[in-house]
A and B are shown apart, each in its own frame.
Chain A
């Protein structure tokens, strides 16, 4: 029987370390590599032009590489669920392969395709190659719960089997007799489209700072390793003015699109470390970037609400502001803080910013200054950032906004000081905000403080040519830190360095008594549940919390009062004054002299007490 195979590219846009492609080639007579592009989606989605350009570069590069193997890439327009039944029939397909996608949306889509394939009698080959490990195994090893702190994650990773070696690169030897039927009108029908065809305006578009594609990725990997070998220092380089700019050795967008295999990167790093450090076992920190990525994939894989606050079990519910105007100012780089605006401009122009710059702008938007939901920031990054992956992007935003993964909230990046420390001269600002070029270094991070003469000399009047700062950072950060504290106080198990977090947590204000915490359950029960989960893995040492117990439980009070009241007649009785007392004060019993009357009196008395008790209740 003739075996006709389709390999479906989504991520993993490469020929090296592509195990699903390699496995599907074995025993196949024909192979068609396809990429499905939804042209309607292209125009309307919130993926920006830089990301589309990067993707198209990747596809062109893939097509070029396949051409060298006498094959081609088939770019197909449409929706996967519509496309596949048609292709299965048209090309008489009996085998389909693709890379495993761990994200909830991807899993859902793949399940639908798998079903279609089964119905059409097509065998499906799926392999994991976008992540270092099988994420389900990590979760299994952690007691069927995704680890919620990076530390915990590292501990689990240490117990995992070694990372699998990268699969053999697809070459003509691997392909052997497997051919790709190519028609005359291939370019017309299956060619890689241009940005214009997708409906983008390309006039005035500068050349890409980050050209996409596997070839570029492998070249960068070589350079990256060369530089590491040269420096012989495997620590994360300290941030300086230079590290803010796009580096020709940067790899993150290539890992995102799968132009570079994370496993290849992993093993190359290991080899280099062994060579330089003479066979020492490399520490986990060597793979920091890769492991963080892995961590976010793991936490997101079973959580379809990972990119939302609402309904997301690991996200702290924070009462963010809704403020479209402020959001737009941030997204378009009009905040009036040159440091923030320069970063956002770089992001929009080039599609990449340094990770500490990400911290800066994310903190500014969320917990630091504007108090706007991280979801909004995530959407902007989704549009502009080349390496924004659903899991990694949402995870980073939750982390930076202190919504999950427990970061310390005591510190807000200062939108003036942080930049000044990184690049005291302000060249970075001048590069991306040419309007401020004339300002001296002294004022370039806070131009609104510059005297009028300086502003005039710089040919830039603040409030006219460049906006005034949209918030007073000192005031905003003070308020926001208070807000954060309020929220974390409710997560009763949080034991961070929260200054006086526990101090105001005293009764009667927040009612630490048992009764009250039950009461409070009505509004924050979900939070408490959550916090219990956090507490198991709270990264910091436990602090003995001051619990004040000076407000009395009302039930106890009632019982004590009742006991006291009941004991009074007994005392009287014992003193054998009871009859006299009763006679004197109870008109009903004034003639009570014998035992029968005594008993009656007693019963009456208790009944009275009981009624009182009921009323009191």
Chain B
């Protein structure tokens, strides 16, 4: 081990590139004269930087194999640079087809590299055991300072199935120890208000991204506390029930940096649910403060729940309707969403959407992408729509069944993009 290090230091002493050239020249001469053994020496002497560079391209498994070649390479395997970013994959054979990160490797990372970890994500399958394993690892990351943390359920949201207290205590360990957390992705988890307070208390200066859609234990007050304290927050994802006028005002306060993305999931838990409204003045304040921010809204509602939406102008840029949406609502979208950039309509009733689409093309001058699922549009209205949008339409995705041939155009006449 020492020998390898010394060799590298000597080379570095003579300037990295120069040293490298020398070795190469020497080896070329030697190759002409001598045998294979020298070539092995040359491999061993590969400068650590280059080795690092090579290692960064290798998958973990190959790196592990390479680390068994010699001490120098083994040394390189453990270089902190290679352990800054790690994705823990936690799967159970009973619930997933994918392989999990080997337990021994996890142990080794916690033992030797936990202080190197900076960008960490956990990919967890739908079993509770995997979610618990992820939390066990989290609670051992005591002496590390994470910059990003992602808890990702790859199938069903399994963090929701584990005991809340266990989850919270594991997460709090990270919040307390990492004083410089900048991105946090904790969708579909039982995170709650007190734990968010801990987050804010320790990371308020650095937090830039917070993604927490479908976290049922967080209240509007909890998220408001985050918005009040974390002035650097630029990207935020949450559910509609957490959105309030106060939150928007807090995000558009003078101390706060410009918001870049706000994503809101509007999900109906039970049919006929009543939704609150957001004042136009709050949206206007937001728009004034962050004129370029993206407002992304996902709707998973029943048709009769759209009452409070799109009554006033709203600065939404990306709209996704996951369930059936009425012609009436789409008509209102055309009237009240001047900043719309992307629109996806997954389903609609049996009547064609012709006028609504044309109106959207007219009024939403930024619209550049559209996707239509189970809807009906007459061919001539569709052609008209495409003509009106013209060049700015960069994405067009429409199921063939959507288009209804009419007297002017048949399906053959429409060219597909």
Using a CB–CB distance below 8 Å, which chain A residues touch chain B?
Answer: 235-236, 238-239, 283, 285, 309-310, 317, 319-323, 356, 371, 373, 408, 410-414, 417-418, 421, 424, 449, 474-475, 477-479, 481-483, 486, 496-497, 499-500, 503-504, 506, 508-509, 511, 515-516, 518-523, 525-526, 540-541, 543, 610, 614
Asked if A411 meets B371 with Cβ closer than 8 Å, knowing A239-B401, A283-B412, the reply is yes
3 closest residue pairs by CB, A with B: A411-B373, A319-B154, A519-B85
Bound complex: CA A414 to CA B96 (Å): 25
Bound complex: CA A404 to CA B371 (Å): 19
Interface SS of chain A: helix, strand, loop or mixed?
loop
Q: Is the CB of B119 within 8 A of A511?
A: yes
Q: Is the CB of A411 within 8 A of B235?
A: no
Chain B 348-389 interface residues, beta-carbon cutoff 8 Å to A: 349-350, 369-371, 373-374
| Cβ of B153 to closest chain A Cβ, rounded Å | 8
Asked if A319 meets B97 with Cβ closer than 8 Å, knowing A478-B300, A483-B155, A523-B60, the reply is yes
Whether, in the assembled complex, B128 has its beta carbon less than 8 Å from a beta carbon of chain A, the answer is no
Report chain B residues within 8 Å CB of A417. 323-324, 347, 374
Q: Is the CB of A414 within 8 A of B294?
A: no
Asked if A421 meets B374 with Cβ closer than 8 Å, knowing A285-B412, A319-B154, A522-B59, the reply is yes
Give the size range of B's interface with the partner. 35 or more
Give me 5 A-to-B residue pairs in the complex whose CB atoms sit less than 8 angstroms apart, sorted by A's number.
Answer: A239-B401, A371-B126, A424-B350, A497-B371, A500-B263
One digit per residue, 1 when the CB lies within 8 angstroms of any chain A CB and 0 when it does not, for chain B 137-148 equals 000000000011
Bound complex: CA A148 to CA B119 (Å): 35
| Cβ of B137 to closest chain A Cβ, rounded Å | 16
Report chain B residues within 8 Å CB of A424. 350
Partner of A310, one of B97, B261, B298: B97
Report chain A residues within 8 Å CB of B12. 614
Report chain B residues within 8 Å CB of A478. 214, 265, 267, 298, 300, 322
Whether, in the assembled complex, B45 has its beta carbon less than 8 Å from a beta carbon of chain A, the answer is no
Whether, in the assembled complex, B296 has its beta carbon less than 8 Å from a beta carbon of chain A, the answer is yes
Report chain A residues within 8 Å CB of B91. 319
Q: Is the CB of B85 within 8 A of A319?
A: no
Q: Is the CB of A235 within 8 A of B318?
A: no
Partner of B155, one of A321, A411, A421, A526: A321
| Cβ of A543 to closest chain B Cβ, rounded Å | 6
Chain B 288-347 interface residues, beta-carbon cutoff 8 Å to A: 294, 296, 298, 300, 318, 320, 322-324, 342, 344, 346-347
Report chain A residues within 8 Å CB of B119. 508, 511, 516, 519
Report chain A residues within 8 Å CB of B394. 541, 543
Asked if A508 meets B182 with Cβ closer than 8 Å, knowing A319-B154, A411-B344, the reply is yes
One digit per residue, 1 when the CB lies within 8 angstroms of any chain A CB and 0 when it does not, for chain B 225-243 equals 0000000000101000000
Asked if A519 meets B271 with Cβ closer than 8 Å, knowing A417-B324, A478-B300, the reply is no
Minimal Cβ-Cβ distance residue in B for A522: B60
Minimal Cβ-Cβ distance residue in A for B208: A508
Q: Is the CB of A522 within 8 A of B58?
A: yes
Bound complex: CA A518 to CA B56 (Å): 6
Minimal Cβ-Cβ distance residue in B for A481: B322
Bound complex: CA A322 to CA B130 (Å): 14
| Cβ of A478 to closest chain B Cβ, rounded Å | 5
